[in-house]
Structure 1
Amino acid sequence: MRRIWVEGDERVDRTGVGTRSLFGETMRFSLRDDAIPLLTTKRVYWKTALRELLWFLTGDTNIRPLVAQGVRIWTDWPLEKYRRETGEAISAEDFEARVIADEAFAAQWGDLGPVYGHQWVNWPRYEPAGEGLFRRAAQGHNQIAALVEGLRNNPGSRRHIFTGWNVADLDRMALPPCHMTYQFHVRSDGGLSCLLFQRSCDLGLGFAFNVFEAALLTRMIAQQCDLTAHELVWTGGDVHLYLNHQELVEQQLSRVPEGAPKLRILRRPDSIFDYKFEDFTVESYAPQAHIPAPVAV
């Protein structure tokens, strides 16, 4: 954060807010002994991040189940679209209330397009329809299921990869995937490591969720494959701070990290898709105060 704020290249970005950024940065986090990368210099709402990851694994792309759980991190995109297309100056609270109360309204305005979860577990497949034509198959390719199967049966492979970057679907997504490609590696001692490539990283806000969820997913996959979590390697393409996050940056840089949070998985379900919110707990996490900052849409 300090390097970006002091040395970063100041650039105009898609949102119009402006950023300072560095390109091609890497960090490594040990996952041994239940370690989990959670920032301690500000509060990270890890329960919200957990709910988001479990939502990804369902393949759902509508904000309705998230909003029903009090998770509002995806509301801004469909809300902005609704306001733009209808001209109605509705509040976020009223929009979310309508999404929860009205299934038809949610179907029309709450969907984000084929974002993360859809690509993870239902990547489009096409099958012959005769006369040289093809039709979309009823069930797409489940990259997560294939990953688990591959790790179990061929741990030495260098092809343990899944991605959300489906070029054909990008223009239909509310937001193209930022944390886009994951690769897994099994050590000779049974340790499982994950390398996440993130094309675009909002270091002030999004990163804390992204790195926690990647580590969490690695822990879940390790459990399902009778492996032990070893390391998360995070690589960012455009790693940036928004210019309107000065207060967040200054406050966070003035704080001293402390503590060593642990993530415990309390149950081993039958599959990677059967985990529940109550299967996880975080211990020894005593963060400093939350630092609010605006989201650039």
Structure 2
Amino acid sequence: MKAYLDLLQDVYDNGVGKDDRTGTGTRSVFGRQLRCNLSEGFPLLTTKKVFLRGIIHELLWFVRGDTNIKYLVDNNVGIWNEWPFQNYLNAQDLGNLEKHSCEWEERLDAFVIRIQKDQDFAAKWGELGPVYGKQWRNFSGIDQLDWVINEIKQNPTSRRLIVSAWNPAEIEEMAKAGLPPCHTLFQFYVSHDNKLSCQLYQRSADLFLGVPFNIASYALLTMMVAQVCDLELGDFVHTYGDVHIYNNHENQVLEQLSRAPKSLPTMSINPNVKSLFDFTFEDFELLNYQPESAIKAPVAV
């Protein structure tokens, strides 16, 4: 994943100060691109350990069209917890509670436990609104994932193999419970030698925390689609709009840049799965992953 480290260095060296929605502040550049040949290995960072279990469960959550965090919470994946929790605090007139203070952490733990155990509470406070899964599976009545799979099979030379999470009619509703989609649109491409590639356009990219997840997630999605469409693997291309490093991630970025990448792992997928909608967590096995230790950093909410 030298390409990722090169991009990280580029933004660290050339990014300019820019205010942001979270109030954290960033180093930001506009318009970059990264490319991975998926036949060379699974593009999971080796210069820090990445939470693959969370990536897989989140992707399956998207594919099933789910928009409530309960599935993730039940599988011990907390990557989406802070957005609905903050909305819950706001409703309790506790919106100004200092983030990651002892009281904040205690209330978050209690919130997660209640999501697990109280169905009615989860239905109300675990809901993120019409975010990724909703748009992928029901964009104004269109199941985009089902459509694109059928189109790849029937019309592989099409230049319209696109799935969009950016639905202007529902952006404000998404923003109320979480945030509008950062990875907004992806397009598949079938080459003359039957290789499937995917290009993602990401309007806003948290380079240290979010982007490694996004790369692995869409690489895995491409592998899943290739399998069910009986295609070989091509490239994953990641195109960015505002790509940034948060100011409170700078020390972590420097530590990341001091490490040398290792050989990429490989991803084994159960070959018996023939429908995109039939995959389960147990259908994936990562092989030969030997990363450096994890590097923790706060999420900007």
TM-score after normalising by structure 1: 0.93
Could you tell me how far apart the structure 1 residues matched to 2:81 and 2:128 are?
A: 9
Partner of 2:133: 117
Could you tell me how far apart the structure 2 residues matched to 1:25 and 1:7 are?
A: 12
1:94 counterpart letter in structure 2: A
State the percentage of identical aligned residues: 47
Which runs of 5 or more structure 2 residues have no equivalent in the other structure? Answer: 1-7, 95-103
Could you tell me how far apart the structure 2 residues matched to 1:256 and 1:12 are?
A: 31
Higher helix share: 2
C-alpha distance after superposition, 1:159-196 (max 9, x if no partner):
00001000011111111111110001101110001011
2:45 counterpart letter in structure 1: L
The CA RMSD measured in Å over matched residues stands at 1.0
Task: Return the match for 1:240 from 227, 238, 244.
Answer: 244
- Paired residues for 1:177-256 under 5 Å: 177-256=181-260
Which runs of 5 or more structure 1 residues have no equivalent in the other structure? Answer: 125-139
SS in 2 for 1:220: helix
Tell me, yes or no, if structure 1 residue 17 matches structure 2 residue 17. no
1:66 counterpart letter in structure 2: L
Could you tell me how far apart the structure 2 residues matched to 1:245 and 1:260 are?
A: 25
Partner of 2:90: 84
2:66 counterpart letter in structure 1: D
SS in 1 for 2:282: helix
Partner of 1:103: 119
Task: Return the match for 2:64 from 58, 61, 76.
Answer: 58
2:216 counterpart letter in structure 1: F
SS in 1 for 2:286: strand
Partner of 1:171: 172
Alpha-carbon deviation of 1:286? 0.4
Partner of 2:153: 152
Alpha-carbon deviation of 1:268? 2.9
Could you tell me how far apart the structure 1 residues matched to 2:272 and 2:143 are?
A: 21
CA contact under 8 A between 1:123 and 1:143: conserved in structure 2? yes
- Aligned residue-pair number: 281
SS in 2 for 1:288: coil
Alpha-carbon deviation of 1:270? 3.6
1:225 counterpart letter in structure 2: C
C-alpha distance after superposition, 1:51-89 (max 9, x if no partner):
000000111110011101000000000000101111356
CA contact under 8 A between 1:201 and 1:237: conserved in structure 2? yes
Task: Return the match for 2:12 from 1, 5, 12.
Answer: 5
SS in 2 for 1:91: helix
